[in-house]
Amino acid sequence: MRKKITIVGAGNVGGTLAQRLAERNYADLVLVDVVEGLPQGKALDLMEAGPLVGYDCEIIGTNSYEQTAHSDIAIITSGVARKPGMSRDDLLFTNMEIVKSVTQNIVKFSPNCILILISNPLDAMTQLAFHVSGFPKHRVLGMAGVLDTARFRTFLSWEGKVSVTDTYALVLGGHGDTMVPMPRYSTVAGVPIPELFSKETLARLIERTQNGGAEVVKLLKTGSAFYAPSAAAAQMVDAILLDQKKILPCSVYLEGEYGIDRLFVGVPAKLGSSGVKEIAKMMLSVEEQVALQKSAQAVKELIDLMLTKGGMNR
């Protein structure tokens, strides 16, 4: 039987992700949205592209959750998008209620699925979904580091005037301004980037990576990034659905790893058919550890805000 993937939110991220996954042709898709006609129209359009592109998976658009039943993976993209001048954290309370409701509905019809969160603020929403779902920690994760790493790799390739395929990068921490790009573990053609670029250049590239989402929002004016986020989520789905056991930086639940406890923060994780199979261990310098702890604290502050609003129980 073909696998089944549900995408909640048929906006730019959800719709583009549905296209990317349809073209992989390894699972049937259900696209859910509260806007009447939106998921149905996008699903129909995607189905009509099938004969041209060469996929024959089933794609359903719906405003309810009944047709999502027995999904293997559910991806939550729904929520209010950022506007110019807004931080991801500004979205907290609005998206908190949306993600809470969506998670409850997903769990009702697909109690054995793996949950992937894309909604912002990412780490806080992933923690909320974990709390609401009652799922084990290996079946709830957030898309963050894969996207941030892709942005870092893009800027490295431009700076070095090399193919992006020759770059490798790593970004840890929360998906926000305190994220922690890791120059020591980032390379161009296998050469660590501190050996290729000056400290000033690295500082500039790191800052641009940390503000990568805001840069896109400022340019678009009426929306936020969706091509790169959907590609990042699709890479995570590949690793899980195809049991690739691929190590990707994701927002996962830590219980003492990296000195962080009971919190979703971005670290390298091995992904496979069961979700998060293992958290990869890395040796961090004192400076890197301090930066990661600072990023984790920023995530914890958002969790504490949700606690005060009753979105989560202690």
> Could you list the active site residues?
175
Residues linked to residue 187 through DSSP beta bridges, in sequence order: 168, 192
Q: Per the structure block, which two tokens stand in for 95?
A: 């998206």
Helix, strand, coil fractions of the chain, as percent rounded to 5: 50, 20, 30
The answer to whether the CB of 103 falls within 8 A of the CB of 115 is yes
CA gap 9, 31 in Å, rounded: 7
Cβ count near 50 (within 10 Å): 16
Structure tokens at 114: 């793996």
Q: How many Å apart are CA 232 and CA 19, to the nearest integer?
A: 13
Extract the tokens encoding 80: 């209010």
The four Cα atoms 47, 51, 55, 59 give a dihedral, to 10 degrees, of 10
In angstroms, the CA 40 to CA 187 distance is 44
d(CA 43, CA 56): 13
The DSSP letter of residue 162 is S
**Residue that has been written with the tokens 């009447």 in this structure:** 36
And the tokens for 292? 């990661």
Tokens of 112: 């054995």
Task: Write down how long the chain is.
Answer: 314
Strand partners, 266: 173, 251
